[in-house]
Amino acid sequence: MIPTSITSQANCRRKSHRLTIPIQVIIEQKSYQVTNWSANGFQAKNLELKLNIDETVDATLVLPTGGASILLNVKARLRYINQNFYGFEITEITEKNSRVLRHYASLAIDGNYNHIDDLSSDLFMMDVASPIKEPISLTDKESKNIHRSFLKRVYLYGAFGALFIALIFTTFLYNYLIVTHSTGLISGNSHNYNAPRNGLLQSLYVKNNQHVAKGELLFEMDTKNEKKLLENKKRQQQLLKKQLHNAQKLLTHINYTITKKQVQIQSLSQLEKEKILSTKKEAESNYKRALYLYKRHFITSKQFSEMQNQYLHFKAQYDDVILHKNIPTKNSLLADQAYIKSQNQKIALQKLINKIAIDMNLNRDDITSLQKDINAAIVLSQEDGIVHNIFHKAYSYVKFGDNILTLETLQQPYILTKLLSSQMDNIYLEEPCLVYSKRLNKFFNAHIVGIGYSITEGSATNTVEISQNEIPIRIAFDDPSVHFHLNEYLKVYFLNSSEFAKKTFQILPHNLILL
C-alpha cells in the first residue's frame, strides 16, 4: 500500500487537478455522489454516517465506464466537514488501483473515460511497483501508450499464469468446502390478518409498506345490521327491567297482604274459640240447672230434653273446634278463601317474574354476543410491523377467513429453501450454512433446523413451491439479531462440516471462494 495525502497545490494540469467528472463512493454498503476528486482524495455529499475528523473508513470508488463500472477499494480519512460536504484523504491504495485511478483521470479529461479497453491492462496486471511514479500527464497520450506497453511486456504472461492457478485453486476449494447451494426465501416474520366474518369490508386504515404499531387499527367490517339489532335488544332489555321491577313491587304487596290475612285468620280463630267456649259454658250451666230442677220435678222432661240437647250440641261444637282445630264459621271460611286467592296470585306472579328473568338473561346473552361480533369486526394490529401486502379493497365482499393483509413483523426470520432428492446425501440437521445477501453484499452464518415436509406449516411456506422430487429445508440464523424483509431471496451455501474444512473456511475470504 502507498500512502498519499490531500495537498493544496497550484492549478497545474499535471498535479492534483480536481475533477468534477461524476463518480460515486460506497461507504458501509451505501452509495454517495462524489462532487469533485483527484488521485489523492475526494469530496462526498450528504453522508448518512456519524464520523469524526481524522476517522478512517473503508471505501469503494465506483468509476463509470459506459456500460460497466470499475470498483477500487481504498482507505480514506475524513479531513473536513463543510455543511453537507465531507472531504476525505485517500490514505491507502494499492499500486494497481493508483495506476487505474490516474489513468482514468487522464482519460476523463480527454473525454475517453468510457473506453474500458484502455484500462483493462491496468486491471489485470500483477500488483508490483511501476517505474512510472509521477502523475500521468492528463493530455499526453504518448505517456499512456508507454505505460500500457510497459505493463503488457512485464506482466502479461504473469497475469495469465496467476489467473489460471487462481482458477484451479478456487475450484478445488469450492468443491471441497461447499456441499451444494440453493436459493432461499425469508419466512417466519409475518402475520396474516383474516376476515373475522362474512360481509362487507367497510374500511381499510393502512397502506402497503406502512409502519404500524401494536394496537393500531388495521381494518373494519360492516356492522350496521348488528348495531341496529343491538339497539333493539338494549331497548327490549330496558322494557324487561321495568316489567320485572313492577312485578317485584306487586309481589311485595301481595306478600304483605298474605301476612296480614294470616294474622287476621289467627285473630278470627281465637275469637271464634272464645265465643264457642262461652256458649258451651252457658249451655252447660243451663243443663246443670235444668237437671237439678228436673230431678225435683219442677220442669217437665220435654223442657229438660231441650236443655240437654242444646248443651250436647254446643259441647260437640266445642270439641270439634278445640280437639280438631276446625273453624266451620262463615267468617273463617271467607278469610281462608281470601288467603288462598292471595297465595294463587303470588304463585302466578312468581312464575311471571321467573319468566321475565329468563327472558332478560337470554336477551343479555344476545347483547353480549352482538357486542363481541361488533368488537371482532374491528381488527387491530397485535404487534409492531410493516404492511407487506393488502389482498382486498375497501367496500368489497369477503368471506370468513379470507386473508385481508399480511404484516411483516419483528420476529426472528428463518430461511426456506429446497433441494433435489439426489442432493440430500450429505445434508443433515445442524449442518452449517453460509447465507449471502446481494442487497447487503454480506455473509451470515446459519444452520439447518428442519428437513422434510414437516416444516411446511402455516402460510409462511405458501410462496415456496415444492415438487415431488424436492425436499424442503428450514435454515435458522446463528445470530438472533439478524433481520430481513419478508420474502427476500438469499443465496444459501451448505458447508462441509469437518473440522479441517471449518478452519480452512474461516481463514479464507468468503468472496474468494463463493462469488
Domain of 312, CATH number, reads 1.10.287
pLDDT of residue 414: 92
Select from 501, 493, 511, 512 the least CA-distant residue to 181: 493
Asked, for residue 494, whether it belongs to a domain, the answer is yes
pLDDT at 235: 92
Domains of the chain: total: 3
| Same-domain pairing of 392 and 335 | no
Q: What is the pLDDT of residues 164-217, one digit of tens each?
A: 777 776 677 677 778 888 999 998 888 899 999 899 999 999 999 899 999 999
User: Are 266 and 311 members of one domain?
Assistant: yes
Do 247 and 324 sit in the same domain of this protein? yes
Amino acid at site 183:
T
Q: Is residue 164 part of a domain?
A: no
- pLDDT computed for residue 326 by the predictor: 55
CATH code of 481's domain = 2.40.30.170
Q: Tell which of 385, 405, 425 closes a domain.
A: 405
75 in a structural domain: no
Q: Say whether both 269 and 356 belong to one domain.
A: yes
Domain with 487 in it: 176-189+411-514
448, 474 Cβ separation under 8 angstroms: yes
* Domain identity same for 185 and 198: no
- 417 with 499, same domain: the answer is yes
What is the predicted pLDDT for the residue at 513? 57
Q: What pLDDT is stored for residue 13 in this prediction? A: 36
Question: CB of 131 within 8 A of CB of 150?
Answer: yes
Are 358 and 387 in the same domain? no
Which pLDDT does position 322 carry in this prediction?
A: 62
Report if residue 249 sits inside a domain. Answer: yes
Say whether 202 sits in a helix, a strand or coil.
strand
Mean pLDDT of the chain: 79
326 and 388 inside one domain: no
- CATH number of the domain within which 207 lies: 2.40.50.100
Secondary structure in 3-state letters for 343-374: HHHHHHHHHHHHHHHHHHHHHHHHHHHHHHHH
Dist CA 296 CA 308 (whole Å): 16
pLDDT at 319: 72
- Are 338 and 242 found together in one domain? yes
Those residues of the chain that have pLDDT short of 50 are 1-15, 131-140, 142, 268, 459-462
Whether residues 236 and 218 share a domain: the answer is no
- Identify the domain boundary among 386, 405, 424: 405
Q: Are residues 363 and 233 in the same domain?
A: yes
C-alpha cell at 437: 445477501
pLDDT of residue 270: 63
Are both 238 and 360 inside the same structural domain?
Answer: yes
- Decide if 98 is inside a domain: no
Tell me what pLDDT residue 415 has.
92
Residue 96 lies in a domain: no
